[in-house]
Amino acid sequence: MRSSSIANTIFKVLEGQEDHLTAKEIYEKVKVTLSAVDPSTVYRSLERMVHQGQVSVSDMGGPAVVYELVTKNPHHHLVCEQCGKKLTFKNGEIADFLNEVQKESGFQITTNHLVLFGICPACQKKK
Amino acid sequence: MRSSSIANTIFKVLEGQEDHLTAKEIYEKVKVTLSAVDPSTVYRSLERMVHQGQVSVSDMGGPAVVYELVTKNPHHHLVCEQCGKKLTFKNGEIADFLNEVQKESGFQITTNHLVLFGICPACQKKK
DNA sequence: GTATAATATGCAAAGATTTGCATTTACAAT
DNA sequence: ATTGTAAATGCAAATCTTTGCATATTATAC
Ligand SMILES: [Zn+2]
Ligand SMILES: [Zn+2]
Ligand SMILES: [Zn+2]
Ligand SMILES: [Zn+2]
């Protein structure tokens, strides 16, 4: 993979990013560097990176699924479906559960960015 | 909601369905009964039903997210990302974990159809 | 290095989904 | 029943995403 490849540019974009990004947002950011890049190429690259396990793709309750680097800091989330408030769990806090499932099923778990939904304490009070 | 409403028709479609369906598939089935229905109406109705908790929406690894009645038989899945093989867990087998998260976070968990991914034993052998 | 095969990219078109707005329908209050 | 309000629907347009195919790039084998 040469350093100017799309995948590499995507990688850099995700690396310098705290939050999760939609495919569209990633495309926009890649276009800043590679102005002639085609959307389909970005979408296909993302798909590839997800399949290879470098990147996670998740529905976080927003208008579109979001992508994030997996390698950087493995974690999981609990999202309030009413106000969008987001808790982050370190991988270890969920690992027990996933290991249990792995042991009982024989499947090797690949889920690397679990997203649960709920209603946060504040929103529970609201009614 | 009158009995010929779109939401009601969608409900019937999902009720008489074993497997998960994509929005497109649901639209096609609704159209059989209500030939003049507009796609956007079906999409919006589904969104509503999901928001109200009657229907689950999940990425099961296929080309599009899939919908399913939640009320019928609450459950969760583990899907092989290589061959698509699908295990189904009764709600009880996952409930402990969700209850734990609920207790520790104060969030009231609403996730009603959890989908985990992994590699099944057969595909692990394939190398 | 040259040839061969596999992968990545761009482009155009198709397809799927969402959005804005006007209209209709359902519900509730009078 | 009449009126007023909120929700649901259809239609057209916009947007987002995927797909097929040709070209270019990269990797592998000789
Ligand atoms: Zn995350
Ligand atoms: Zn909240
Ligand atoms: Zn299911
Ligand atoms: Zn498998």
Q: What is the pLDDT of residue B4?
A: 60
Q: What is the pLDDT of residue B72?
A: 84
Other Cβ atoms closer than 10 A to A46: 23
pTM over 0.85: yes
Other Cβ atoms closer than 10 A to A17: 16
B:44-73 Cβ neighbours of strand C under 7 Å? 44, 47, 64
For A101-109, what is the mean pLDDT?
96
- Cβ of A59 and B78 within 8 Å? no
Ion ligand 2 — residues with CB < 5 Å: A 80, 82-83, 85, 120, 123
Instruction: Say which of A65, A98, A118 has its CB closest to residue B109.
Output: A118
pLDDT confidence band for A1 (50 / 70 / 90) = very low
Positions of chain B with pLDDT lower than 70, given as ranges: 1-4, 127
CA of A48 to C1' of D11 (A): 38
Other Cβ atoms closer than 10 A to B98: 19
- What pLDDT digit, counting tens, does each position of A10-38 carry? 999 999 998 999 999 999 999 999 999 99
Q: What is the pLDDT of residue B9?
A: 96
Q: What is the pLDDT of residue A3?
A: 53
Give yes or no for A110 touching B (CB within 8 A). yes
- Cβ of B110 and A118 within 8 Å? yes
Domains of chain B, earliest start first? 3-69 (1.10.10.10), 75-126 (3.30.1490.190)
DSSP-derived 3-state class of residue B16: coil
| Sheet hosting strand B108-109, strand order edge to edge | A86-90, A75-80, A115-119, B108-109
Mean pLDDT score of chain A = 93
> Which residue has the closest alpha carbon to D8 C1'?
B41
Instruction: Say which of A101, A105, A118 has its CB closest to residue B107.
Output: A118
| Percent above pLDDT 70 for chain A | 96
A23 touches strand C (CB under 7 A): no
DSSP B72: S
State in Å: Cα A13 to ligand 3 middle: 35
Query: Distance between CA A88 and CA A77 in Å, rounded?
Result: 5
